[in-house]
Chains A and B, each alone.
Chain A
Amino acid sequence: MKIHRTLTIIAIILITWSASVSAEDNQAEEIMKKAHLALFYAGDDGSADVVMTIVNSKGKERMREFTMLRLDLEDGGKQFYYTYFRKPHDVSRLTFMVHKVPFETDSRWLYIPAVDLVKRISADDKNSSFVGSDFTYEDVSGRHWSEDNHKLLRTDILGGRDVHVIESIPEAGHKGFSRKVSFIDAKHFLPLKEEYYDKKGEMERVYTAELIEDIEGIRTPTLRKMENVKKNQYTVVEFTNISYNVGLKDNIFTERYLKNPPREYIK
């Protein structure tokens, strides 16, 4: 009887322990899901003016200015993006549209004003550079949380804030990174920092939320930096005139509007 009881206790301990392990993993994935939604799906839609500064290893700068519209059809699901370029001047009026469907290949269109032509462009490489910056397409529109295996490494303090430190490992052969370590704010779940490691296991890029502001009650990183530590270059993105829940219609995100930008949102 005594043995029986001991065994039962051991069994209970084992079950609880293993449950807690998987609960930890669940917890990590849950955190990453919240982070994904907080960063990429804030509000039902949004618009912002963006100034992007690309600084190369010699300190030379390139600027891009554009207005970005976003409409979420479903939280964590399908999204539309519309980008209207203002600067440099020789690409002003150029527009760019993305239909993002998680787990599927995006659709991307570009309107080239100089020749008055809309062109579909390939989207099967999400890890290529976004308009020549250190951000990839995936950095801009997000990588679905369920695509990687997450593990909560520890909780820590970063810049005076409590953070969950989570390691994400993609399936083998993923081109973007071999390992990612995210520092997720424990309170509002925005990533404060992300470290991307290359296939040699060396740190390649570091994302940091340089400034987080309260916009219409939503915590929003308004100054974001992506540094390529290997190439010693970085890109800084500044968001202004941010508004959420502006009531974007899905018909804006069609080829017709590429040539004729919606004036009520893009002045």
Chain B
Amino acid sequence: MKRFFTEFSINHPWTIIVAVVLITAFFAAQLPDIKIDTDPENMLEADEPVRVFDHEVKEEFAISDFIAVGVVDEGGVFNKGLLTNIYRIINEVAEIEGVVADDILAPSTVDDIRQEDGILTVRTLMAEEPDSDRHARYILSRIKDNPILRGKLASDDGKAIAMFIPIESKNMSHRIAGEIREIVDRHSNGEEYFIAGLPVAEDSFGAEMFRQMAVSAPLAGIIILLLMLIFFRNVKIVIAPMIVAVVSVIWAMGLLILTGNTVHIMSSMIPIFLIPIAVLNSIHIISEFHDRYQKYKHKKTTIKSTISDLFVPMLFTSVTTIVGFISLALTPIPPVRVFGIFVAFGIFVAWLLSITFNPAFAVLVSDKSLRKFGRADNEHGPLSGVMHLLRDFSARHYKGILFGSAVVVVAAAVGLSLIVVNDNPVKWFKQNHPLRVADRALNKHLAGTYMNYLIFESDDADAMKDPETLRYIEKFQRYLEQNRVVGSTTGLTDIVKKVRYELYDGDSSMNAIPDSRDEVAQNVFLFEISGGDPGDLFKFVTQDYSKTNVWVQMREGDNNSVMLVVNDAEVFFADNPPPASLEMHWAGLPYVNVVWQDKMVGGMRSALLSSFVVVFIIMVFLFRSPILGLISMLPLSITITAIYGAIGYIGKPYDMPIAVLSSLTLGLSIDFAIHFIKRSKYIHQKTGDFRKTFPEIFEGLARAIGRNVLVIAIGFVPMFFSSLVPYITVGLFFFAIMTVSGAVTMLLLPAVFIVGRARLFPVGEVKHVRAKKEEVRK
């Protein structure tokens, strides 16, 4: 079979090229139908309970996701000028398409419950532009006297003020944040406005990601092309791998779009994953072609011999990488599944093209332009020098290498135990990104930009009018507020208490939940009849009073921070049984993120383990030897433990990109070992003597691996300078996978070979092969 593809391609190059062009045109025609989906919530299935519940809660309590806008000034923000600006800004923000104007939380929109000359008033806190600094300070004092607003709208020291802009849909937040930015810039008299919040971060990430994508993937492609040009000095030859890479990207993305999948944050990374993987096989082919052409001086013969020797290793390196990515289909996260399946498809395409398109293309390159090919970088080039150093080093210090590897594994194991699983979409942006700066500034001074909702549910209507139940929830709120992450909690309890407090002319002894159910109900009624917006009330309780919603505002959106609070709630709920039967559930974007993180970590663990086992089985099958199978798993195992161990030491949280990259690490770092072992065996078949085999390994094969390491590793260096952390992570991973697995392959495998030479490379095997060949001839 391996002959068929290549023979056919060599003999009918134009057929192959026309076919590739036609199919590529077909898939390219699908690209304009691209549907983009940047909502991280879609990391969960649409019918995932936590997601369904989150939607129900938002629907039932008419809650929207918020964009937080704030000003921080050490000199204080409650003065006439600044509040006037804020008043005008909010008036304009309310007009933005997609802003839920009725629900804006800002001094000029929220109601204040107060007492004036014995008259109870529910009135807009800042109904008109403030006329003096005194008026501005009065507004601060009202915020501080209102537990519903305190900390949320202003810090007690008056140095920070915040507004919360509700939006109809999360995926409008990037656009709306932009329009808000334009409005505040126009009004600002020098003060700085911060715009923060999880929805903006998530949506902006999506927008910025596609911009990065348009830069990163082509840039990596160009650098890879340039590096190959340096190695092979022939444009016509190195253009082929690039065509293979681009074509496999187009086929994969085209099929993804054709099958109706949306391009999610994950799938947008398909090109950046496919390009280097697609190039890998081609580099092996060209390297061999390059090294052999000067020997054979005949194009077709060189191609045939190259592909024939490389067919099996290339097939297996592709299969193992495909296994690594296909394993992602086992995760419970739909976009990761789509990502895995289509990267796998792309790798298959790249493999198919490298044994058909590459030879066909090479045949068409004129002999004239090949005349000098292979002369520049011969056995005496710098790359060879490095390989010879490695050869001598591993021959001399093989015991040290084995010992060193053991030390690395033990140290990495310790590092693995230090890994902290954590994620926060805001931190997908770099430290100095405006969203990160805003996040820090607002969360330092105010009650927080991360909104979660704790829902208490009873089967009985009016359950939430029961004083016992309200006191329980009040106690619950105070308990949660002790957590440093929690900036504030707001519930029906606060409305009832505030109304009662104002009803009794600001008597603080009355700032408590009343004793009778009727009094609770009448306090709420008093709120409604005094002009309180029923819409505000029903953000905290359902109309039938069977469910209540405590807003838990958090200063940190890390999944781990959210988990701290969630655990606190579980503990309190377990230790303090509610007076009546109550159920407790969480909702809110940060909580939804926690759930998908959990699913992802578990899913990735089983994906990684299962693909590890599958790859091992494939290796045993490939080498027809359990021992060689085990040996081939060494570079991969050490690379994974070393990289993830390093992550543990560095303290970088194990987040979504890092989880997904484990499959890439597995799929790629086996590749060198496959080539190395398979080709070493070939060489040994020819030499029959390990003393001859060993130096030969460090010639053509080693150079091919060396070129691969350099091309891919350097190709991803530009990604280190991306503004998005996941892109930096991906770049660093490609770099680390290539260098670590390359180094481990080139050092550890020779050392193992030396130790096990008697068994792995028996003398005289060559005769056996010759005898077999003769048998076949007869």
- The tally of residues in A whose CB lies under 8 Å from a CB in B reads 30
Query: Is B543 a contact partner of A90 (Cβ separation < 8 A)?
Result: no
- CB-defined contacts of A62 to chain B, threshold 8 Å: 543
Q: Mark A97-139, 1 if CB is under 8 A from B, else 0.
A: 0000000000000101111010111101100111110000000
A87 to chain B, nearest CB (A): 11
Query: Is A122 a contact partner of B517 (Cβ separation < 8 A)?
Result: no
Q: Mark B110-142, 1 if CB is under 8 A from A, else 0.
A: 000000101111110000000000000000000
- CB-defined contacts of A91 to chain B, threshold 8 Å: 518, 521-522, 525
- CB-defined contacts of B535 to chain A, threshold 8 Å: 231
Query: Is A90 a contact partner of B522 (Cβ separation < 8 A)?
Result: yes
Does A94 make an interface contact (CB < 8 A)?
yes
From A96, A120, A124, give the contact of B120 (CB < 8 A).
A120
Query: Is A129 a contact partner of B503 (Cβ separation < 8 A)?
Result: no
Query: Which among B41-49, B169-177, B526-534, B647-655 touches the partner chain?
Result: B526-534
Query: Is A119 a contact partner of B503 (Cβ separation < 8 A)?
Result: yes
Does A60 make an interface contact (CB < 8 A)?
yes
- CB-defined contacts of A129 to chain B, threshold 8 Å: 528, 531, 533-534
Does B498 make an interface contact (CB < 8 A)?
no
Given known A-B contacts A122-B530, A129-B528, A114 and B121 have beta carbons under 8 A apart? no
**Distance between Cα atoms of A57 and B525 in the complex (Å):** 21
Does A88 make an interface contact (CB < 8 A)?
yes
B161 to chain A, nearest CB (A): 24
Query: Is A58 a contact partner of B534 (Cβ separation < 8 A)?
Result: no
From A115, A117, A131, A200, give the contact of B525 (CB < 8 A).
A131
From A94, A114, A120, A122, give the contact of B516 (CB < 8 A).
A114
Does B39 make an interface contact (CB < 8 A)?
no
Does B271 make an interface contact (CB < 8 A)?
no
A211 to chain B, nearest CB (A): 26
Within 8 A of A (CB), among B490-507: 503
Does B570 make an interface contact (CB < 8 A)?
no
Query: Is A122 a contact partner of B121 (Cβ separation < 8 A)?
Result: yes
Give the tally of cross-chain contacts (CB within 8 A): 88
Query: Is B465 a contact partner of A122 (Cβ separation < 8 A)?
Result: no
Does B60 make an interface contact (CB < 8 A)?
yes
B426 to chain A, nearest CB (A): 32
- CB-defined contacts of A222 to chain B, threshold 8 Å: none
Does A243 make an interface contact (CB < 8 A)?
no
B62 to chain A: closest residue by CB? A57
- The tally of residues in B whose CB lies under 8 Å from a CB in A reads 37
B716 to chain A, nearest CB (A): 51
- CB-defined contacts of A114 to chain B, threshold 8 Å: 514, 516, 518-519, 521-522
Query: Is A119 a contact partner of B465 (Cβ separation < 8 A)?
Result: no
**Distance between Cα atoms of A195 and B58 in the complex (Å):** 30
Q: Mark B458-493, 1 if CB is under 8 A from A, else 0.
A: 000010010000000000000000000000000000
Within 8 A of B (CB), among A55-82: 56-58, 60-62
- CB-defined contacts of A125 to chain B, threshold 8 Å: 123, 531
B538 to chain A: closest residue by CB? A56
Does B544 make an interface contact (CB < 8 A)?
yes
- CB-defined contacts of A120 to chain B, threshold 8 Å: 118-120
Q: Mark A30-68, 1 if CB is under 8 A from B, else 0.
A: 000000000000000000000000001110111000000
B105 to chain A, nearest CB (A): 18
Query: Is A90 a contact partner of B517 (Cβ separation < 8 A)?
Result: yes
B37 to chain A, nearest CB (A): 27
Query: Is A112 a contact partner of B522 (Cβ separation < 8 A)?
Result: yes
From B122, B123, B518, B530, give the contact of A90 (CB < 8 A).
B518
**Distance between Cα atoms of A200 and B94 in the complex (Å):** 11
A230 to chain B: closest residue by CB? B102
- CB-defined contacts of B60 to chain A, threshold 8 Å: 58
From A56, A110, A122, give the contact of B116 (CB < 8 A).
A122
Query: Is A96 a contact partner of B522 (Cβ separation < 8 A)?
Result: no
A71 to chain B, nearest CB (A): 20
**Distance between Cα atoms of A90 and B529 in the complex (Å):** 15
From A90, A110, A112, A131, give the contact of B465 (CB < 8 A).
A90
A252 to chain B, nearest CB (A): 20
- CB-defined contacts of B531 to chain A, threshold 8 Å: 121-122, 125, 128-129
Query: Is A124 a contact partner of B118 (Cβ separation < 8 A)?
Result: no
Query: Is A128 a contact partner of B525 (Cβ separation < 8 A)?
Result: no
From B59, B119, B519, B520, give the contact of A122 (CB < 8 A).
B119
A115 to chain B, nearest CB (A): 6
**Distance between Cα atoms of A61 and B542 in the complex (Å):** 11
From B517, B529, B537, B538, give the contact of A110 (CB < 8 A).
B529
- CB-defined contacts of B119 to chain A, threshold 8 Å: 120-122
- CB-defined contacts of A56 to chain B, threshold 8 Å: 538, 543
Query: Is A90 a contact partner of B521 (Cβ separation < 8 A)?
Result: yes
A231 to chain B, nearest CB (A): 8
Given known A-B contacts A91-B522, A117-B503, A119-B503, A96 and B529 have beta carbons under 8 A apart? yes
B25 to chain A, nearest CB (A): 48
From B120, B462, B520, B533, give the contact of A121 (CB < 8 A).
B120
A56 to chain B: closest residue by CB? B543
- CB-defined contacts of B544 to chain A, threshold 8 Å: 60
Interface centre among B503, B514, B544 (most CB of A within 10 A): B503
Interface centre among B521, B525, B528 (most CB of A within 10 A): B525
**Distance between Cα atoms of A62 and B517 in the complex (Å):** 18
Query: Is A128 a contact partner of B533 (Cβ separation < 8 A)?
Result: yes
- CB-defined contacts of B537 to chain A, threshold 8 Å: 132
**Distance between Cα atoms of A184 and B341 in the complex (Å):** 67
Given known A-B contacts A90-B465, A119-B503, A113 and B518 have beta carbons under 8 A apart? yes
A67 to chain B, nearest CB (A): 16
From B62, B121, B522, give the contact of A94 (CB < 8 A).
B522
**Distance between Cα atoms of A122 and B113 in the complex (Å):** 10
Query: Is A115 a contact partner of B519 (Cβ separation < 8 A)?
Result: yes
**Distance between Cα atoms of A58 and B538 in the complex (Å):** 13
- CB-defined contacts of A115 to chain B, threshold 8 Å: 503, 514, 519, 522
Query: Is A60 a contact partner of B543 (Cβ separation < 8 A)?
Result: yes
B391 to chain A, nearest CB (A): 75
A83 to chain B: closest residue by CB? B529
A97 to chain B, nearest CB (A): 11
- CB-defined contacts of B59 to chain A, threshold 8 Å: 58
**Distance between Cα atoms of A60 and B545 in the complex (Å):** 12
Query: Is B525 a contact partner of A94 (Cβ separation < 8 A)?
Result: yes
B96 to chain A, nearest CB (A): 12
- CB-defined contacts of A121 to chain B, threshold 8 Å: 119-121, 526, 529-531
**Distance between Cα atoms of A94 and B519 in the complex (Å):** 11
B620 to chain A, nearest CB (A): 60
**Distance between Cα atoms of A200 and B91 in the complex (Å):** 12
From A94, A96, A124, A131, give the contact of B123 (CB < 8 A).
A124
Query: Is A128 a contact partner of B122 (Cβ separation < 8 A)?
Result: yes
- CB-defined contacts of B123 to chain A, threshold 8 Å: 122, 124-125
A119 to chain B: closest residue by CB? B120
- CB-defined contacts of B525 to chain A, threshold 8 Å: 91, 94, 131
- CB-defined contacts of A60 to chain B, threshold 8 Å: 542-544
From B62, B521, B529, B530, give the contact of A88 (CB < 8 A).
B521
- CB-defined contacts of B122 to chain A, threshold 8 Å: 122, 128
A76 to chain B, nearest CB (A): 25
Q: A90-B465, A114-B514, A124-B123 are in contact. List 20 more A-B contacts (CB 8 A).
A: A56-B538, A60-B544, A90-B522, A91-B521, A91-B522, A94-B525, A110-B526, A110-B529, A110-B530, A112-B526, A114-B516, A114-B519, A115-B514, A115-B519, A120-B118, A120-B119, A120-B120, A121-B120, A121-B526, A131-B525
**9 shortest interchain CB distances as A-B pairs:** A122-B121, A90-B521, A128-B531, A114-B519, A132-B534, A132-B528, A114-B518, A121-B530, A120-B119
Q: Can you list 7 A-B contacts with CB-CB less than 8 angstroms, sorted by A residue number?
A: A56-B543, A60-B543, A112-B519, A112-B526, A115-B503, A121-B120, A124-B123
Interface set of B (CB-CB < 8 Å, partner A): 59-60, 62, 95, 116, 118-123, 462, 465, 503, 514, 516-522, 525-526, 528-535, 537-538, 542-544
Interface set of A (CB-CB < 8 Å, partner B): 56-58, 60-62, 88, 90-91, 94, 96, 110, 112-115, 117, 119-122, 124-125, 128-132, 200, 231
